[in-house]
């Protein structure tokens, strides 16, 4: 009996000792399978600062190839108002890309590649509704520009829309303790079957680095906003002016959207919408000024944040090439511009 018991303990010890190695091999194999579908997104845009006025800057993020014809999902804050976007694949080959859909209220954008490099692999999209708190996940991206870095963690929580991060009211989020840093934004979160179940958005951090509070937009949200409906890309960023801010700028109608930057080649750019070139501090808030203030788009007046999704919904229902009107306040005068859907 002692001999058998001792042998059982010995076998059990061997199996326990080998288990972590097998798990590590599983994660390693997963990484090698998903790596060819992950991309590094490098974008160039313009920003306005008090010290330098209008100047160029570069943004690095991540993304994932989701179709054979060259569509890439990424985060809106990486590409939404940028003048130039390039996508870099495993091996270093870079391809030009353009934004075709974007929804800042969920931090999601869809890119169209100029071409798909040989060796690139389309990632399968998973069902994020089947993912549960406690499931192990993998994140691949370019934290601080360090391309194709893997981090592994667990889903810590699931947050419904308009709860944990009200600046993005349309996004359902996974919370994860997988390490996420600057440069991971837009990168994919995979389940252990190698399916994309989310797109990395942001972190909550007091130090500026990862503290185990990463937030990932669920694939359910991404599919709804980028694939099942049309999220029109306007290509501009700015500040909603209501209440006291609207009074400061003496806005007709009492509200509007002050344009900060306009991406070159975007629908707003081709319509002639102008961005700002100076900064001002008003009521303790830094605002880019001297740009157009958009008052109305396609017959919908901008009165509150809720009007922005309404405008995108109306534009999304229009046909490609169809014109629409944009009413702006410029240098004290109300002008009417004409845009065309791409």
Catalytic residues: 77, 107, 185
| Coil vs helix vs strand at 257 | strand
Tokens of 178: 């997988």
CA dihedral 241, 243, 245, 247 (to 10 degrees): 110
∠ CA 125-130-136, rounded to 5°? 85
The number of angstroms, rounded, from the C-alpha of 53 to the middle of its chain's C-alpha atoms is 26
Tokens of 264: 């070159």
CA distances from 23 to 17, 30, 107, 317, 336 (A): 11, 11, 33, 48, 62
Contact 116, 207 (CB under 8 A): no
Sequence-distant (≥ 6) Cβ neighbours of residue 72 within 8 angstroms: 39, 41, 63, 64, 65, 66, 87, 97, 110, 111, 112, 113
Q: Which residues pair with 259 in a beta bridge?
A: 238
* DSSP secondary structure string for all residues of 173-185: EEEE-S---TT-T
């Amino acid at each position: 009996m002692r001999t058998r018991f001792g042998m059982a303990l010995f076998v059990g010890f061997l199996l326990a000792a080998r288990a972590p190695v097998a798990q590590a091999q599983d994660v390693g194999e997963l990484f090698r399978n998903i790596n060819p579908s992950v991309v590094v997104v490098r974008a160039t845009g313009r920003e306005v600062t008090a010290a330098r006025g209008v100047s160029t800057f570069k943004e690095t993020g991540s993304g994932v190839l989701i179709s054979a014809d060259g569509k890439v999902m990424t985060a809106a804050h990486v590409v939404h108002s940028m003048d130039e976007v390039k996508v870099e694949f495993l091996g270093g080959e870079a391809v030009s890309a353009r934004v075709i859909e974007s929804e800042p209220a969920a931090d999601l954008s869809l890119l169209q590649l100029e071409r798909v490099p040989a060796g690139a692999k389309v990632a399968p999209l998973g069902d994020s509704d089947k993912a549960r708190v406690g499931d192990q996940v993998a994140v691949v991206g370019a934290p601080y520009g360090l391309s194709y870095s893997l981090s592994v963690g667990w889903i810590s929580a699931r947050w419904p829309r308009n709860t944990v991060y009200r600046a993005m009211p349309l996004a359902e989020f996974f919370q994860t303790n997988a390490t996420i840093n600057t440069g991971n934004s837009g990168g994919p979160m995979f389940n252990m079957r190698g399916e994309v179940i989310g797109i990395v958005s942001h972190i909550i951090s007091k130090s500026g680095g990862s503290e185990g509070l990463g937030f990932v937009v669920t694939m359910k949200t991404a599919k709804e906003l980028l694939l099942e409906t049309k999220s029109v890309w306007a290509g501009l960023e700015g500040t909603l002016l209501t209440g006291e801010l609207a009074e400061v700028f003496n806005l007709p109608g009492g509200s509007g959207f002050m344009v900060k930057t306009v991406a070159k080649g975007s629908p707003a750019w081709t319509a002639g919408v102008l961005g700002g070139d100076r900064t001002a501090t008003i009521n303790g808030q830094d605002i880019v000024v001297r740009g157009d203030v958009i008052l109305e788009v396609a017959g919908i007046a901008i009165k509150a944040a809720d009007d922005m999704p309404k405008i995108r919904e109306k534009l999304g229902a229009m046909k490609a090439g169809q014109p629409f009107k944009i009413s702006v306040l410029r240098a004290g005068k109300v002008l009417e511009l004409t845009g065309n859907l791409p």
